[in-house]
Structure 1
Amino acid sequence: MSNYKLANKENWKGRSSEKELYLHEKVQFSNIYEPVTTSENTRIALLGYSSDEGVERNLGRVGAAMGPDTIRKQLGKMANHLKSNTQLIDFGNLECKDENLEKLQADLSSSVSTLIENRTIPIVLGGSHDLAYGHYNGLVTHLKSGEKLGIINFDAHFDLRANTNGNNSGTPFYQIAVEQEAKNEDIKYMALGIRKDANTKELFDFAESKKVNYLLQEHFSINYLEHVQLRLIQFMEDVDYIYTTIDLDGFSSAFAPGVSAPSPMGFFPDIVIESLKLIIESGKLVGLDVVELNPNYDIDDQTAKLAASLVHYVIHKL
């Protein structure tokens, strides 16, 4: 396996209550090789993908490797409203060894599969968006014959670039699409917040050739809430399970300055929260990740707090 490091408990600090009023008091720690096995009703697994090799290959700003621990530091300070029989378990980080991104993706797939086997809901903290390929494949291993796993990606980019020169942060859904095609199946992929200025005509053409569902950024806003909800419902009705991935660079840089590819033209948190609410209420969500936090460029931890708040929302809605 790629460099694997146990969770650093020093990342989980905050006010002390001795009543588990804060998440740093609630979180538990475990080894990916020896997952926790209890009879708890709900178990949420945090796993870090501490790499920005994919961003560097994609000519982006490096620094996302520090994202997972930075998110933990903000999440730990937040209030705990989880039920007493819900476990929040930190399984540490996978790190990229010898620039071998492909090995890291395979190891993430194996790790996610292990977490699913042990009845946990994986939440992967990134890290560059190439983690989506490994996360998806880890979830797919548990599908029964005929079942479909849909992808919902909150992002400014399709990430459907060809991996002719190797995998990177812009290729994960291309990789999945090609592998699905080899199995005579279509990729079930919905992208929310796509920007025309961030995707070439070739990428739009490829997306349409693969029957990708997408909403442009100009229509992915609270002003179009009913339309967004309708499109989400239509997509989710056609699949059995949902894998959700949130690329922080899809948000306006007013909310997320600390990302690999910032833009002021992104979407707002309110429409993402409303969409997540609908996804979770469907009962089909089986895995989620938050990617592309780059602490090197963050301002007053604003992007890290956004990422942590999204995770906080999800784990309390599950």
Structure 2
Amino acid sequence: MDFNFLSPVSDFVLAHNELLSAQALGRKIKIHSAQQGIPDLDGVQIAIVGVLENRNDINYIGEEFCLDEIRKGFYSLFPGSWSISVADLGDIEKGESVDDTYFALKEVVNTLIKQNVIPVILGGSQDLTYANYRAYDSFAPMVNIVNVDSKFDLGDSTKPIKNNSFVGKIILDQPYNLFNYATVGYQTYFNSQEEIDLMDSLYFESYRLGQVSHDITIVEPVLRDANIVSIDLGAVKSSEVSLNQKVSPNGLNGKEICAIARYAGISNKVSSFGIYEYKPSSDDEITSMLVSQMLWYFIEGVNYRIKDDDFSDEYTYQKFITLVESEELVFYKSNKTGRWWIEIPFLSEVNNKLKRHTLLPCMHQDYKDACNNKVPERWYKAIRKNSV
């Protein structure tokens, strides 16, 4: 498939780019322009794709959508000492219907992933995550999604898809490819008790805003295990963004959201990354610069990816065994990266979804808790999910 769904980056942004320092990011990356066409993706590891679709936003009132300010901000940053190549492929315009946009996004994401390029989606409404997820249908039988959001977005899946109900569609629509869904930074008062109970009954993971702000490192294992990371800018507290973007006085701050973006980049499994619910406005330098910095940190993370060993060579890891409530828990620590995993026992008598998921990323703290006779919650949920 070629990329004929994509329209080039605007001449306005390209003219602005010409005025930047020769060392700026905008002068170092490959850009889809009207003059040059779509750049060659040979050697490219990350491709930025804008999606100008926000019609399934529950608050949509016909406003136009544009990513020029984000591009201007991002192009003006300076790269780190990176060895990876980045391309900006321009935008997927609104289709005749939202389904047309979904189809275009699904095709583009599918093509990029098959070429070992990580798509970074800059979106309108977060329901685009559904199209991103559907792009995996042909090659990934089990998909893990992390949603950085103040809400679970489960919604009423009997109604047409919206940006506050797309997760319900992901769970209930065939083919059933979702293995784990985790929400990072949720705020209890934005979620009904029914949704909180449903998350528990499906053994999905959720990390409250307070937990994340207290210790940002707790989200690293769940991001290490994710295929798709979707960030709702509504998870960011209002003092960090422009007037049009404000959602809640409480939320993640700029430093925390950038740390999460970096964790997503470092994860060897994350193969697509999206930032959604951007609302352009005339006073918008702050939000567009925050998104630019999130992009920067994601790219930085990808640049520093280290392939973990497969634990076939006993000299590359340390193995720890502890007993909790008569359960033998087996932990592994990589000598190369210092990262920890816990083994999920293979349950031969049940329909096992976990054939590829026998090692679950965890933290050193989980091992310490296990030594104190406390079962790690991620391990418990993975076991329960696997026996359902």
TM norm structure 2: 0.68
Q: Is contact 1:44–1:121 with CA below 8 Å preserved after alignment? A: yes
Q: Could you say if the C-alpha distance between residues 236 and 128 of structure 1 is closer, same or farther in structure 2, counting changes exceeding 3 Å?
A: closer
Larger RCO (CA under 8 A, 6+ residues apart): 1
Q: Post-superposition shift, 1:178?
A: 0.9
Q: Could you say if the C-alpha distance between residues 282 and 191 of structure 1 is closer, same or farther in structure 2, counting changes exceeding 3 Å?
A: same
Task: Name 2:150's counterpart in structure 1.
Answer: 156
Q: Which amino acid aligns with 2:289?
A: K
Q: Is contact 2:263–2:298 with CA below 8 Å preserved after alignment? A: no
Task: Name 2:52's counterpart in structure 1.
Answer: 50
Aligned length, in residue pairs: 295
Q: Could you say if the C-alpha distance between residues 189 and 80 of structure 1 is closer, same or farther in structure 2, counting changes exceeding 3 Å?
A: same
CA distance in 2, matches of 1:52, 1:140: 24
User: Can you list the C-alpha shifts for 1:68-108, whole angstroms capped at 9, x where unaligned?
Assistant: 3331121111112353x53221111112234x212211221
Superposition RMSD in Å: 2.8
Q: Is contact 1:276–1:314 with CA below 8 Å preserved after alignment? A: yes
Task: Name 2:160's counterpart in structure 1.
Answer: 166
Q: Post-superposition shift, 1:64?
A: 7.5
Q: Post-superposition shift, 1:212?
A: 1.8
SS of 2:164's equivalent in the other structure is: coil
Task: Name 1:264's counterpart in structure 2.
Answer: 249
Q: Which amino acid aligns with 1:160?
A: L
Q: Post-superposition shift, 1:119?
A: 2.6
Q: How does 1:1-318 map to 2 (within 5 A)?
A: 4-12=6-14, 13-14=16-17, 15-18=19-22, 21-30=23-32, 36-38=40-42, 40=43, 42-55=44-57, 58-59=58-59, 63=63, 65-66=65-66, 68-81=67-80, 83=82, 86-98=84-96, 100-143=97-140, 148-179=142-173, 183=176, 187-221=179-213, 223-226=214-217, 228-229=218-219, 232-233=220-221, 235=222, 239=225, 241-257=226-242, 262-296=247-281, 299-318=283-302
Q: Is contact 1:155–1:192 with CA below 8 Å preserved after alignment? A: yes
Q: Is contact 1:47–1:124 with CA below 8 Å preserved after alignment? A: yes
User: Can you list the C-alpha shifts for 1:124-169, whole angstroms capped at 9, x where unaligned?
Assistant: 00111011011122244332x5xx3211111111111124331211
CA distance in 2, matches of 1:260, 1:172: 21
When Rg is computed on C-alpha atoms for both structures, the one with the higher figure is 2
CA distance in 2, matches of 1:29, 1:308: 16
Q: Is contact 2:150–2:251 with CA below 8 Å preserved after alignment? A: yes
Q: Post-superposition shift, 1:190?
A: 0.8
Percent sequence identity over matched residues? 21
CA distance in 1, matches of 2:274, 2:155: 20
Q: Post-superposition shift, 1:16?
A: 3.2
Q: Which amino acid aligns with 2:50?
A: G
Q: Is contact 2:262–2:299 with CA below 8 Å preserved after alignment? A: no
